[in-house]
Each structure stands twice: as structure tokens, then as C-alpha cells.
Amino acid sequence: MICNRLSPHAKYTLFALSPPFPGQLRITVWSLCTKSVSYIKYPKACQQGITFTRDGRYLALAERRDCRDHVSIFVCSDWQLLRHFETDTQDLAGIEWAPNGCVLAAWDTCLEYKILLYSLDGRLLSTYCAYEWSLGIKSVAWSPSSQFLAVGSYDGKVRVLNHVTWKLLAELGHPAAVSSPSTVVYREAEKSPPLALGRLAFPPPRAPAGPRATTESKYEIATVPASLRTLKPTADRANPRMGIGALAFSLDNYFLATRSDSIPSAVWIWDVRKLRLFVVLEQLSAVRSFRWDPRQPRLAICTGGSQVYLWSPAGCVSVQVPGEGDFQVLSLCWHPSGDSLALLSKDHFCLCFLEAEEGVGTALGQQDDHT
């Protein structure tokens, strides 16, 4: 098994499997309602090769046939083929439906900067290329209103396209120094432990060995201009740590969160209405994942430590994950209600519930084995 996922309404689950013939794949569709099984041939082995429309009516699948890239669109109610067309790509890297289900974005390999916009019936609406002869697209995200398409590139910039002409609306850079006085820079800092044993001149006795102690942290507002910690990419290796590795719009379309892989400890939050940088959050460790609250403009961030970081326009806070031992949060996701978070470590998961009266919220969790 290579991957599995549920359809938006959880009526089906899809598995990408390797059949008995080497070098081939197929999609197995299991109905959780009728227990029926369907098969789809020729899926392409790429990270973002399967995408559903938000209402769950259609599935778009990236395919590779006869050394050419194709996209097939299926009706999810009966898995009948609706459209099948060839894409003008050298090596199709990913596809993504607009939230309104009217436009499908398809982008080429990182060796060629090209993103194509197709209609539901397979017509090519537009093609966008920012530059040539350099590493191209690394990440793509639609705004919830489908009005904007954000394209993260290996040159460290996010290019925002509009939905009318599919032309460039704004170009958002990620420099190592933040100089705008209108931008707030929050820096994570360790909380100083209380001084014990009456300020003795000699160290206290060493505590017995046990689980690694977790360090609490807080946010401090940095003075602008502020320099951010950068990571020099290794140009002689594949998949260099550079470019925009993650980006996501808030549900209300007001904010865009981004992460540059050459500045991995920072999350950039942009004001979409004014197309300017609004806030930068610099963490002590590299950012592993971030997700927007599905109900309000609130961003949850994890860095592989025992804290979850929450930002909203009112401010930001570091929340310690309760539980025994050292729970390292590697990824997270919101419940659709926005009232709770699922936090995942390597072997466990934790459910955290946010108290609404606390504003940003307090985490109360319960750990369990990850199965």
C-alpha cells in the first residue's frame, strides 16, 4: 500500500496499491455503505495526484499513460468517467481543485515552472510561468473563496494569481530581515525557571534520571528591523531546503500563512486584503506543520516539541501539551467544529480541547496509542 484516504463525506476510502505486475499501480475504492469495491487503473505515483471537489461529487486523478500525463475526472456517486484529457506537462507533479469545484490546477515538475488551469470539462483556461531555467513550483494553495491561487516557488517567493484573468496579482518575498515597522515579529523564548534553594552559590543536588524535562516557552515581541535565522541550502543534493514548502489561507480569506524552507523556524502571516506582511512568528525549532482553524482566523503550529502554538489577530500563546513523558508533536489537524485539535507524535496521538472562554484557548488532552 502506498497511500490511503477518505472521500470528503467519508462514504468511500481510496487505497493506492501495487498489483502483481511490477511498475504499475491501481486505485481500489471501497464503499463503506454498500461494501462494494471498484478499481481505477493508471494512477500516477505523485504526492498530490488525487483530489476531490469540496462537495465530494467529483474526483480528479493524475495518470501516466504511454509516457504522457493525463487527468481523469470521475463522478463519485457511481465512479463513472466524466472527462479524460492530456495535460501539457513534462512530469505532472500535482493537481488541486478550487474550493468551488469549477477549476482544476495542475502543475509541472520542479524542473519546469508551469501551472495550468482547467475547467471541469477539461478545457485549458490559462497557463502561468513566472520564470525559466531554474527550480520552479514547490507548493500550491487555493483561497477558500476560489478568488486567489497562491503558488510557492523555489526562489523563496509566493505568487498570488487572480481568478478572473489568472494573471499575477502580487509577489510576496521572504527576506531574512523584517524591516517594515507595520509588521509585528513574535519570537519564542524559554521561560526562566524560578530560582530555588535560596540562591545558593553551589549547584543543587542532581535529580534522579527520568523522563526528559520539558521547557515551557513564551512569545516576546522583537524590535524591528529584526533578523531571522536562516539555513544555507546544500546545492549539490536533491530536494534542497529552499523555497516555499508550505502555505495555507485562513477560512475567512483574510490571511495567508507561509513557511520558507530556508528560514524553517519562521511562519509568515500575510494580510490578503492589503497584500502585505502582517506578522512573523519565529520559533526556537523548525516548524513541522501549521493548520488554520476551520471556524475562525486562528492558526495552530507545531515544531516537534511538547508545545502547540496558537496565533490569532488578538495575539499568540504557547500551550504545553499535558501528559506523562515527552510527547513530541509532529503534526496536527483541527476538528471541523474548531473546538479541538488532534496532535500526532511518532507512536501516539493526543486530543486537545480548547476552552472558548479563554479566548485563544487552553489544551486539555488525552493520550492514546496511534493505530
pLDDT in tens, 176-227: 999 999 999 999 998 766 555 445 444 554 444 433 445 788 899 999 999 9
Residue where a domain stops, chosen among 25, 60, 91: 91
Q: How many residues does the chain have?
A: 371
> Closest Cα to residue 60, out of 89, 41, 32, 81?
81
> Closest Cα to residue 257, out of 222, 200, 206, 298?
298
Single-letter amino acid, residue 234? T
Cβ(301)–Cβ(285) below 8 Å = no
- Per-residue buried b or exposed e for 146-157, using 16+ beta carbons within 10 Å of the residue's own CB: bbbbbbbbbbbb
Supply the range of the domain harboring residue 17: 1-91
Residue where a domain stops, chosen among 91, 114, 136: 91
pLDDT in tens, 92-112: 999 999 999 999 999 999 899
Q: What is the mean pLDDT of residues 253-257?
A: 97
Number of domains the chain contains: 2
Rounded Cα distance between 272 and 145, Å, is 12
Residue where a domain stops, chosen among 91, 116, 134: 91
Single-letter amino acid, residue 113? Y
Q: What is the mean pLDDT of residues 297-313?
A: 95
Matching residue, cell 502582517: 278
Residue 22 falls inside a structural domain:
yes
- How many C-beta neighbours within 10 Å does residue 65 have? 13
pLDDT of residue 360: 43
Residue 178 falls inside a structural domain:
no
Residue 358 falls inside a structural domain:
yes
Give percent helix, percent strand, percent coil of the chain, each to the nearest 5. 0, 45, 50
Q: What is the pTM of this model?
A: 0.86
Q: What is the mean pLDDT of residues 162-179?
A: 94
Residue 218 falls inside a structural domain:
no
Residue 41 falls inside a structural domain:
yes
Residue 371 falls inside a structural domain:
yes
Rounded Cα distance between 169 and 162, Å, is 6
Q: What is the mean pLDDT of residues 253-261?
A: 97
